[in-house]
Amino acid sequence: MTPREQFDRDGYLVARGMFTADEMAEFIREVQKGEPLTRGADFLDSGSMHFYHNVFYKNPVIQRFVCQQRVIDFLVPVIGPDFWMRWDQAVEKGPHSGVFAWHQDNGYSKLHEQYYQLWIALSEMTETNGGLWLVPGSHKSPIRHIKVDNHLAAEGDVVLFSSFMLHKTYENTTERPRWAYVGEILPTRCYDPLAPKPYFVMAQGGRAYGKFMPSIPGSRDIAQRIRLLPLTARNYYRKGKKRLKTVFKQSA
């Protein structure tokens, strides 16, 4: 069975031990010192669970990290030779943080098509510290909540899963924080009007690329732009509303 066939059947692939504990510790330091494009504290933050969004965008160390050829070689058999990163986040589940309930990531991005979640265990994932759970095959409908795979992971393990994959993390009942990273990846033929520009192209022709580009084939595809107009409009509406709120707050 090819990696693509396995991914289509299960909705995910695992690469054990891709990174060392030292590499993961350095990654966490970069997340903590870097300035995310979107501030960490957002509507998802809860208790000691913290989200850092778009950490790759302004951080060349993280850009180089996710574009290492060993990462690209893991992704190409599933995604194809050309792809870009639309968004990423690092998640710190601090001691005694709660459950992050079952969900599919398309529910957050609002995109209708499948994209790819490059998920990295920045720290060890256990049954008690908020490890990742996936429901194999749940990227296809109908979703049946009966059999789940608990993904215990050592730090440095990598999972590639479908954006339609039903997943969840449990409480962290330990005294140590649990860290995870996820980068959301689309083939360059696919456009996302909500992603910040320029576009961070991770691979071209199956080789690591790791550069920002002002446009990608997907963003130049008029039919796709028209199809995604409702999402674009919704984005402008949300941004306008936010700006108005700020203006009113400042003048109050």
User: Is 84 or 100 the residue whose CB approaches ligand AKG more closely?
Assistant: 100
Within positions 54 to 93, which residues make up the interface with ligand AKG, using CB under 6 A?
A: 91, 93
Sole binder of ligand AKG in the list 167, 177, 190, 216 (CB under 6 A): 167
Q: Are 242 and 236 in contact (CB under 8 A)?
A: no
Count of residues of this chain found to bind ligand AKG when the rule CB under 6 A is applied = 8
Q: Rule CB under 6 A: say whether 130 interacts with ligand AKG.
A: yes
Q: Rule CB under 6 A: say whether 161 interacts with ligand AKG.
A: no
For the CB of residue 165, give the shortest distance to ligand AKG in the complex, in Å. 10
Q: Rule CB under 6 A: say whether 50 interacts with ligand AKG.
A: no
Cα torsion angle, 116, 11, 181, 54, sign: positive
For the CB of residue 109, give the shortest distance to ligand AKG in the complex, in Å. 10
Buried b (16+ CB within 10 A) or exposed e, 134-162: bbebbbeeeeeeeeeeebebebbbbbbbb
User: Is 69 or 150 the residue whose CB approaches ligand AKG more closely?
Assistant: 150
For the CB of residue 189, give the shortest distance to ligand AKG in the complex, in Å. 24
- In angstroms, what CA-CA distances link 10 with 13, 63, 148, 234? 8, 28, 12, 33
Q: Are 27 and 181 in contact (CB under 8 A)?
A: yes
Q: Rule CB under 6 A: say whether 100 interacts with ligand AKG.
A: yes
Alpha-carbon Rg of the chain, whole angstroms? 18
For the CB of residue 57, give the shortest distance to ligand AKG in the complex, in Å. 17
> What is the contact surface with ligand AKG in residues (CB under 6 A)?
91, 93, 100, 105, 130, 167, 169, 180
